[in-house]
Structure 1
Amino acid sequence: MKVSDDARDARLSVLKTYKLYVGGKFPRSESGRVYEVTDSRDRWLANAPLASRKDARDAVVAARKAVAGWSGATAYNRGQVLYRVAEMLEGRREQFAREVAEAEGLSKAKAAAAVAAAVDRWVWYAGWTDKIAQVVGGANPVAGPYFNLSTPEPTGVVAVLAPQRSSFLGLVSVLAPVIATGNTAVLVASQEAPLPALSLGEVLATSDLPGGVVNVLSGRTAEIAAPLAAHQDVNGIDLTGADAALAAELETAAADNLKRVRRPALSEDWSADPGTGRLTEWLETKTVWHPIGV
């Protein structure tokens, strides 16, 4: 049956209501709250969950449960899993390009370029999983009949506040190095542009990444970040997505259990070579003495 132009114009759009991604599942916010996500022209795009403090605590529990399995996997296996995620991102480039264009007010060409750079960066970090230990680890010269070996180990559960303005390339740049080095993550999406992060959760759910390794929350950054900074079972927090005032408050809260804190930079060029700084940020060094000949 042919649909008339008048009927087509009268059709109401079906706006999507996203869900959180916690422990490999898609729960609604514990509070049942959602908020309207709009594009750069203030047009309604979708509904996103407004995560609560309880959601943040649930995400930490899921991330902690996943630490042993993910950190205990071989570095090569982690690299293969991350590369599989990149393959799936590649298959959904058009969707992410549309979401980035709407969120950041970019042209289609610039949004597509940003998404391509994000996928390339994910692949780049996937390649580092079995190489970073060779860069930061090694055998230390000591006096006596001993081997003295230093090896990097993951920090544990890391809370990541995603950049507010770079909704996908910046997001990948802060998240990928955390999990590439064997940590698990609680990701707080950009408050104004959460859709690329929530869509990334849908990709991760259908990839080989174990549930709980990445947990995605959306909502008010300050409301979600406060319980994460104070949580005794969070080992590190990346404050990239916080403004100066909020970052100061969160850093004070994080000091209670001596969390490792990455302070927000005054400016970030997400298109620049990332280097290894974010890879080594969430690693601890374990040194082992072993007698020679035993």
Structure 2
Amino acid sequence: MSDHRLNVLKTYKLFVGGRFPRSESGRVYEVTAATSAPGAAGQGDWLANAPLSSRKDARDAVTAARKAFGGWSGATAYNRGQVLYRIAEMLEGRREQFAAEVAAAEGLSGARAAAQVDAAVDRWVWYAGWSDKVAQIAGSANPVAGPYFNLSTPEPTGVVAVLAPQESSFLGLVSVLAPVVVTGNTAVVATSEKAPLPALSLGEVLATSDLPGGVVNLLSGRTAEIAPTLAAHQDVNAIDLAGADGALAADLETAAADNLKRVLRPQPVDWSADPGTDRLLAFLETKTVWHPMGV
């Protein structure tokens, strides 16, 4: 028997509504490996052809996210935490695959890429644990004059568009995605433009977990092409501009103002640092109710 085998290359697809469509336009773009060699141009060997998402793909993803919002936001916080923990379990089982993809995407050594994946899984678990605790830090019982209970409780904002960090293909992605969905929002994610493969592989994990279809939708392609559609879309309630440069972010913020979207502006972030609760609270609304004491 010959020792030579056909190299079976992986086909990467979008993840929208719990399914794996190709871009409706049929377009793809080349994804190449990053290189950390001194003086190198920053790109290496060909890795794959990733789908090049269109504006129609972005609109389809928003539709899927809106459809999923009612069920996901209506689930108990405990249930959402269990679903996210299950995703972390599955990521742990595919640790070697993600480490190899991150190493190629970011030009890291195997050990450093594995450390990035470990940190991403740990962060996913950390956010999962906040699901039934965030109400204790974001809600309150308010003192009022009169025989009433006055209670403020956090609620999800709705459909959140997320521009994933460009340089941190997996840890950065988890750091912006997990806090959006653990609080009951649904997400449309524009992945890192030059390093989308770890994100698209995450879609395979989400599809085989307990996460309902449409809660997370992943679009690869040109950020500058996808983002304006999401920022201007009237059924998107908020946008995280983490993966946008200064000029693009300013244009997107202007477009987002048309329907008063919540906007999280881009800022320098060390994705390996303690994330804190800022992103966890960024896409929550506060509902305040009055109730008579019955006395």
Take 1:150 and 1:202, find their aligned partners in 2: how far apart are those partners? Answer: 38
Deviation at 1:155, TM superposition (A): 0.1
Take 1:86 and 1:79, find their aligned partners in 2: how far apart are those partners? Answer: 11
The reply to whether residue 13 of structure 1 matches residue 7 of structure 2 is yes
What corresponds to 1:145 in structure 2? 147
Deviation at 1:12, TM superposition (A): 5.6
Take 1:195 and 1:240, find their aligned partners in 2: how far apart are those partners? Answer: 18
Q: What is the 5 A alignment of 1:112-191?
A: 112-191=114-193
Deviation at 1:16, TM superposition (A): 2.2
Return 5+ residue gaps in structure 2 as ranges: 36-43
Aligned residue pairs, count = 287
Take 1:13 and 1:79, find their aligned partners in 2: how far apart are those partners? Answer: 39
What is the percent sequence identity of the aligned residues?
Answer: 82
Q: What is the CA deviation profile of residues 132-168 of structure 1, one whole-angstrom value per residue up to 9, with x for unaligned ones?
A: 0011101000001110000000000000000000000
Contact 1:57-1:227 at 8 Å conserved across structures = yes
Take 1:99 and 1:184, find their aligned partners in 2: how far apart are those partners? Answer: 26
Counterpart secondary structure, 1:43: strand
Work out which of the residue numbers 232, 240, 243 in structure 2 matches 1:238.
Answer: 240
Take 2:34 and 2:138, find their aligned partners in 1: how far apart are those partners? Answer: 42
Q: What is the CA deviation profile of residues 21-56 of structure 1, one whole-angstrom value per residue up to 9, with x for unaligned ones?
A: 000001110100011110014201111100000000
Work out which of the residue numbers 79, 82, 92 in structure 2 matches 1:90.
Answer: 92
Work out which of the residue numbers 7, 20, 27 in structure 1 matches 2:21.
Answer: 27
Q: What is the CA deviation profile of residues 108-152 of structure 1, one whole-angstrom value per residue up to 9, with x for unaligned ones?
A: 000000000000000000000000001110100000111000000
Tell me which amino acid in the other structure corresponds to 2:211: L
What corresponds to 1:283 in structure 2? 284
Take 2:278 and 2:190, find their aligned partners in 1: how far apart are those partners? Answer: 21
Take 1:12 and 1:52, find their aligned partners in 2: how far apart are those partners? Answer: 32
Take 1:17 and 1:50, find their aligned partners in 2: how far apart are those partners? Answer: 13
Contact 1:78-1:129 at 8 Å conserved across structures = yes
Which consecutive aligned stretches of 4+ in structure 1 deviate over 2 angstroms post-superposition?
11-17
Counterpart secondary structure, 2:180: helix
What corresponds to 1:268 in structure 2? 269
Counterpart secondary structure, 1:228: helix
Take 2:6 and 2:149, find their aligned partners in 1: how far apart are those partners? Answer: 70
Provide the TM-score with structure 2 as the length reference. Answer: 0.96
Take 2:64 and 2:195, find their aligned partners in 1: how far apart are those partners? Answer: 24
Contact 1:237-1:260 at 8 Å conserved across structures = yes
Tell me which amino acid in the other structure corresponds to 1:21: F
Take 2:212 and 2:154, find their aligned partners in 1: how far apart are those partners? Answer: 22
Q: What is the CA deviation profile of residues 200-233 of structure 1, one whole-angstrom value per residue up to 9, with x for unaligned ones?
A: 0010000000000000000000100010000000
What corresponds to 1:78 in structure 2? 80
